[in-house]
Amino acid sequence: MKTLNELPAPLPAPGEPQRRRLYSSSIGLACMDAAALIVSWFLVVSLFGRVWGGEFFLLLPMLIIGQLVLGYLLSLYRNRYQLGSDHELRNQGMVAAILFTGTSLAGIVAEYREDIPWLLLALLFAQALMVFGRQLIRVLRQLRLIPVSGEPVVIVGAGDLGASLVTQMMADPLSPYRPVAIVDDDPRKLRQLIHGVPVRGSTSSIAEVVAASDAAGVIVGISDAPAQVFASLVQRLDSEQIWVRAVPSPLDMLSSDVGISDIRDLDVTDLIGRPAAEPESEQISRLVEGRTVLVTGAGGSIGSELCRIISRHNPSRLIMLDRDESELHALCMSLEGRALMDSPDLVLADIRDFQALDRAFAELKPDIVVHAAALKHLPMLESYPAEGWKTNVHGSLNVLRAAQKHGVGRFVNISTDKAANPSSELGRSKFVAERFTAHFAAATGLPYVSVRFGNVLGSRGSVLISFADQIRRGGPLTVTHPDVTRFFMTIPEACLLVLRAAALGSSGQTQVLDMGEPVRIVDLAKRLMAVTGRTCPIIYTGLRVGEKLNEELFSPEELDRTSTNGVSWTVDVPPLDPDSVPEPAASLEDIRSCYLITVDAAETPSATATATATAGPADGPGVDASASTVTDSGELPVIDVDHGTQALGLSAQGRA
């Protein structure tokens, strides 16, 4: 066993070899400048036949000493500046000016007067040699550092950020990227060279520049580039061959320099081709601060994000209700960093169970309820319409009844754009929930509202997750139709806008979020392939039962809509008396008949009063049990009771 005295000597500091190299570099640079002065003097003598006298042995050493002393004082020999940089050139010019001035003043002495002009000429030659030597060394170093194995890329943006990227790529022999061209929309920068890389056009000619330079991808070097830039680039490029990536802005990097390692794939905001809306937090704070808020479906994609946002706005208490204990466990971990699962704010309950909801509401007494629990996968509900009826219709009704019974002051029902002119089991069940919400709003006189929005990128079961998994497996990517479009939002954007719309909505209204322009699913697939840099085939499977080619935000009768807050439209949905709908265990025929009547009643406002009276058994008056399915022409669908689960890989347990 070694004693302390036997321990080996400490290792040298990690920076010691580097310091030695720096010292050697400084001494070598000083020697190079001294040699430049000597060579220049001999050059003057050789070219002009000047024979020096004894004064040479005094003046030239003084000139060399002056160069070295002044150069050291101005950091030319202390590795302060990059070799050959403009900063070093500026200080070198200051040294030369001082030496020129001092040498000229030496001409006052009579015995030196004859040699001074030649010495000044030698000094001029020496300065030219110094500049040339430095630039030659810099070029040789850069040639040695140029990456040879990195992917050839085109940089979008010739500003400071783009130029910084090019510099770092060209200075790293192991860089994964090798810039071959730059594009910029500023016509003044066309044909400029930035660190040796040419500006070859604008973003409108990106496809031609990429093809001409044989680039493998495009990197956007624009600080805080809007999402439209990425959408435009992906649209112009062959997404099956060329990938597109971006860098964060310097502010995003806490004001530090952006490096090559910070280059990122496009995020979901870039994929939908528009910036995500950021509503003011004051309205959300006024809604939830100091109040007890209960969120149903708290473990789902939307529910969990709602909980995260609400928790940041100082509620008196946040109650998280879900039927899945594993999802509640994951939510606790994300909110608190621990999951002891012993908090009274966690409620394990199924919204189908009214008694469980009644007990929870009686004990916790929420002021606000955000109802996000639902079954949301359209194909599964087409196969199992009774499950959608029990959860989306009667589950929502249970939550509404519990809220009314226990004096909940504000109720927010999370709906879907598929409830507009519904053609599917999902849309019809959610539309009935909207009508229930309008009924309870009228009954209580309190702000009970529904919020309707489209697909959420990144949620479980979303097309983005499906595409990402298919790309990871090597394809193919499955798209239902070449022209199918959908409205998209990010999860945080949808939740923020839901809370803001809920804060502004009046009693009984349905708020329809502004989601921008619809996105073609095939374009989304191509953008995602461009992000990953992988190429996969796309196959078209055909629209499934109940699916629309283009989703709608409003039913045909919802023409009387307004928008006063800039983030949503307001539509009036006719209320529906819950006592007029069949029980949870109703037969599929009864469910079908109820859907037919509730949709008809909504489409014909004059029939609203009649609807609640005639809803009931499948063979009620005026109801044809053999009615056809809803199509884009507005006809109502026949529910295929025998439609099984073949070719369906989705879970019936999904939540909005």
- Residue ranges of domains in the chain: 24-143, 151-266, 281-548+560-614
Of 171-175, 443-447, 563-567, 592-596, where does mean pLDDT reach its minimum? Answer: 563-567
Helix (H) or strand (E) holding 538: strand 538-540
For residue 49, what pLDDT band results from cuts at 50, 70 and 90? low
Q: Between the ranges 22-31, 42-51, 71-80, 214-223, where is the mean pLDDT highest? A: 214-223
Q: What is the mean pLDDT of residues 132-157?
A: 81
Identify the active-site residue in 376, 390, 418, 548.
418
- 189 catalytic residue (yes or no): no
Among positive and negative, which fits the CA dihedral 633, 635, 640, 645? positive
Report the alpha-carbon distance of residue 206 to residue 196 in Å, rounded.
Answer: 19
Q: Which two tokens stand for residue 548?
A: 């629309």
Q: What is the mean pLDDT of residues 25-45?
A: 83
Residue with tokens 């500049």: 131
Which residues partner with 490 through β-bridges? 457
What pLDDT shows up at residue 77?
82
Q: What is the mean pLDDT of residues 537-566?
A: 71
- Does the pLDDT at position 626 exceed 70? no
Q: Is it true that the peptide bond before 518 is cis, omega within 30 degrees of 0?
A: no
What pLDDT shows up at residue 154?
93
- Residue 566 dihedral angles phi and psi, to the nearest 5°: 80, -5
Q: What CATH architecture applies to the domain 281-548+560-614?
A: 3-Layer(aba) Sandwich (3.40)
What pLDDT shows up at residue 565?
53
| Angle CA 601–451–346, to nearest 5 | 120
For residue 365, what pLDDT band results from cuts at 50, 70 and 90? very high
- Does the pLDDT at position 435 exceed 90? yes
pTM above 0.85, yes or no: no
- Does the pLDDT at position 217 exceed 80? yes
Q: What is the mean pLDDT of residues 56-75?
A: 81
Q: What is the mean pLDDT of residues 260-282?
A: 54
Asked if 181 contacts 197 with a C-beta cutoff of 8 angstroms, the reply is yes
Which homologous superfamily does the CATH classification assign to the domain defined by 151-266? NAD(P)-binding Rossmann-like Domain (3.40.50.720)
Residue with tokens 């400490």: 10
Q: Which of 127, 142, 128 is nearest to 83 (CA)?
A: 142
Of 111-120, 191-200, 281-290, 473-482, where does mean pLDDT reach its minimum? Answer: 111-120
Asked if 580 contacts 610 with a C-beta cutoff of 8 angstroms, the reply is no
The CA-atom distances, in angstroms, between 32 and each of 132, 245, 494, 513 are 11, 45, 66, 71
Which residues partner with 442 through β-bridges? none
Q: Between the ranges 86-90, 258-262, 382-386, 459-463, where is the mean pLDDT highest? A: 382-386
Q: Which two tokens stand for residue 469?
A: 């998994």
Which residues partner with 569 through β-bridges? 512
Which residues partner with 154 through β-bridges? 181, 218
The domains spanning 151-266 and 281-548+560-614 adopt the same CATH topology? yes
